[in-house]
Amino acid sequence: MSRGKFITLEGGEGVGKSTQARLLADALRARGIEVVATREPGGTPGAERIRTLLLSNEGEGWNPGAEALLFAAARSDHVERLIEPSLVAGQWVICDRFIDSSRAYQGGGGGLDDTNLVELHAIGSGGLLPDLTLLIEVTPENAAQRISSRDGDTADRIGGRNTGYHALVASAFSSLADSEPNRFVRIDGNHDAAQTHKLVMTEVSRLAGGAG
Ligand code: TYD
């Protein structure tokens, strides 16, 4: 049994990642590939409990270090209990956000040192990296419009941070993509969902074993 492929979708708020993750999972299943579709923070019962701690607007919230540790703890459980066993079983794992979100949000937005975040990932998750990371990018205007039609005024604790924070996140994602061109591809998410999905499938089809 050959190991499955691990694909992550990344990007700021309102870029359409979740829609693209769903369309990608459906398209791969239609090609006979067994797919596990999951998300972060969350994906296992333990990690979903940590998700509530991280994103609910109750209480005073977390300092950037505590936030990074909680994301890393959730990821550790997710990798050990769901992602790694699925890959070993030959399934493809499509994950909405992964380690690059910690590097962009807690690092770029929160000011934590990138080397420390990578080290935390080594401790918690054996440094597991995706085979392919799709970075979906949209203009700030499109993101703002989609967020307001999706969330109204009910943003979670992190999504609701100011535009300065989100600009730092977007620029950190962009630098990550530049620094690892073999793992990342940039997807222009300014089109409608069906057109963006075509761009995604072109990139995914390049993965060894071919998906299309
Ligand atoms: P979610 O509702 O999944 O947002 P989205 O639809 O934008 O993906 O909430 C996840 C939030 O958590 C989002 O604001 C990004 C943030 N996040 C981090 O700050 N660090 C991380 O490592 C991860 C996985 C998510």
What domains lie within the chain, and their CATH numbers? 6-207 (3.40.50.300)
List pLDDT tens digits, range 67-76. 999 999 999 9
Pocket test for ligand 1, best of 53, 83, 105, 147 (most atoms within 8 A of CB): 105
**CA of 121 relative to ligand 1 center, distance in Å:** 16
The model's confidence at residue 89, banded by pLDDT at 50, 70 and 90, is very high
Global pTM? Answer: 0.95
Q: In whole angstroms, give the CA distance from residue 183 to residue 167.
A: 23
Percent of the chain whose pLDDT exceeds 90: 82
What digits encode the pLDDT tens for the residues 154-199? 788 898 888 899 999 999 999 999 999 999 999 999 999 999 999 9
State which of 10, 101, 147 you would mutate to test the pocket of ligand 1, scoring each by most atoms of that ligand within 8 A of its C-beta: 101
Atom of ligand 1 nearest to the CA of 71: 22
Query: 179: buried, middle or exposed (CB in 10 Å: 19+, 13-18, 0-12)?
Result: exposed
Quick one: tokens of 25? Answer: 């999972």
Closest CA relative to residue 128, chosen from 56, 165, 62, 183 = 183
Percent of the chain at pLDDT exceeding 70: 97
Structure confidence at residue 186 (pLDDT): 97
Helix ranges restricted to H, 36-162: 45-55, 64-78, 84-88, 99-101, 114-125, 140-151
Question: Atom 12 of ligand 1 has which residue's CA nearest to it?
Answer: 158
pLDDT reported for residue 14: 87
Is residue 212 predicted with pLDDT exceeding 60?
no
Q: What is the pLDDT of residue 209?
A: 59
Q: For 140-157, what is each residue's pLDDT tens digit?
A: 888 888 888 877 767 888
Q: Is the pLDDT of residue 131 over 60?
A: yes
Choose the residue to mutate in 151, 158, 168, 173 for probing ligand 1, maximizing ligand atoms within 8 Å of C-beta.
Answer: 158
Amino acid 208: pLDDT: 58
Q: In whole angstroms, give the CA distance from residue 77 to residue 66.
A: 17
Pocket of ligand 1 (CB under 6 A): 13, 17-18, 39-41, 55, 71, 97, 101-102, 105-106, 156, 158-159
pLDDT at residue 108 is higher than 90: yes
